[in-house]
Amino acid sequence: MTDMALIGWSRAQFALTACYHWVFVPLTLGLAVIMAVMETVYVARGDEFWKRTARFWQKIFGINFAVGIATGIILEFEFGTNWSNYSWFVGDIFGAPLAIEGIFAFFMEATFVAVMFFGWNKVGRRFHLASTWLTGIGATVSAFWILVANGWMQHPVGMEFNPDTVRHEMTDFWAVVSNPVAVSKFFHSVLSGWMTGAVVVIGISCWYLLKKRDVRFARASIRVASAVGIAGTLAVMFTGDSSAVHVAKYQPMKLAAAEGLLDGGQKAPFSIVPGVEIPGMLSILATHDVNGHVPGINDLLDGYTAPDGTEVLSAEEKMARGRMALEAFRNYRETAESDPEAASEWRRVLEDNVGYFGYGYIEDRQELVPSVPMVYWPFRIMVGLGCFLLLLMILVLWFERKNRIERMRWLQWTSLLSIPLVYIAGQAGWIVAEVGRQPWAIQDLLPVNAAVSSLDKGAVMTTFFIFVAVFTLFLLIEIRIVTRAIRKGPEAAPEASDAAAQVE
């Protein structure tokens, strides 16, 4: 008997950890680019002002980087503690990119981040600049391998099932690495980090303008961050387009849930909000063809015939083939030694149906439909906030270039108050990605009810609330340290320090 409460609490604990982790990751990715650009300007011009500016944002980066590592380590451990069946079933594949991330990217970051923080005035300017860029590249490479692992869960490729070991084993490493879902997810996620870093830098800089202090520093930071943020956000929109095509192809139920589309077809409309639709737009987004066919929730449950004549099985047919695969697997294991001929036949049946293996664990076809409101509304929040923040960054950059930003107090306040919005947009995106693929831990291969560890529900509940307390404490500590650093401000110019000393 499946303990739904255990599954629910295990999912909640993993979601909690992932959400807290993603508070820190995008800012790390965004600040890495912004501070590297600032230091590049310093090295190119030799202006000490840009050195002080870069060092200030490196300080914010370092605080955020340290807390992000702590939550990330916990997240990886949870695969073994809460999802041990998952780890056993696909650990040979899923573990590979995570191991590479730990060995290569993490050590690359750890090496160069030390030079970046402690190497000022100890190593040459160009070497220090290289260390700053390599720290950012290391963080990005780290994100790449993690997103390769996540992309494989969304679209499993490059493997085959070995019934003797009861594991999926990797057969094509490069297929896993070049998985189109993983590649799109990497660019979409990393570039959204650029937007996060930009919005945070702009908001903090506008606080300085509101306080009428460190004005040159604030305007210079706004200039660099806006350029990075606008470029990143436009690229996020581009990669979002490719992601939509991949979701339509590999995870059609997620797309149908994100649109609340019950009955699909050609010229499928895009729902802005319930009752307000753009005819044919969903077909364009999903297939790049206004006449493209997009299946709805009912089509995917009942089965349908695609325009090219492909027969898509109904949920009941997939579940039947999944049970056939499970039965063949059990019979193969039982006859492997005693009756090799029968075992060979059962293995053939298993191989014919292994693509539906996960459906054998599904008891009711409604389990295959994710929570539509939990996918529909976060998608619109993500898109709406992304468009708003893009417009905000364009306005900020425009008024800064026109030397009017210091007088635009309403824009300064809007920028400062928009800092939480960029985090909400990022979290909403991950809700769409992860809730939208339920009930699958691995798309079509392993549902969460078969992936969960056999743990005591009370233990998972207890650790959930412990994590709530610990992660909230981490977040509050970071906010406190960052706000103290912001109040202190960037380093004073040497001539300003000398003048202050003479006054005293």
Q: Which of 30, 33, 381, 19 is nearest to 203 (CA)?
A: 30
| 145, 97 contact by CB (below 8 A) | yes
pLDDT band at 494 (very low <50, low <70, confident <90, very high): low
User: Does residue 109 carry a pLDDT above 80?
Assistant: no
| 430, 256 contact by CB (below 8 A) | no
Token duo for residue 425 = 């947009």
Q: What is the largest CA-CA distance in the chain?
A: 96
Q: How far is CA 417 from the centre of its chain?
A: 23
CA angle 383–384–390, rounded 5-degree value: 90
User: Does residue 74 carry a pLDDT above 90?
Assistant: no
| Cα separation, 326 vs 52, whole angstroms | 63
Predicted TM-score (pTM) of this structure: 0.91
pLDDT in tens, 186-235: 999 999 999 999 999 999 999 999 999 999 999 999 999 999 999 999 99
Instruction: Tell me phi and psi for residue 158, to 5 degrees.
Output: 70, 35
pLDDT band at 493 (very low <50, low <70, confident <90, very high): low
Distances in Å between the Cα of 58 and the Cα atoms of 133, 196, 238, 485 are: 12, 16, 29, 11
Cβ neighbours, 10 Å, residue 64? 23
Query: Which residue did the predictor score with more confidence, 500 or 88?
Result: 88
Residue with tokens 């090799």: 340
pLDDT in tens, 112-156: 888 898 888 888 899 999 999 999 998 899 899 999 999 999 999
Instruction: Tell me phi and psi for residue 312, to 5 degrees.
Output: -100, 125
- pLDDT attached to residue 448: 92
pLDDT in tens, 27-54: 999 999 999 999 999 999 989 999 999 9
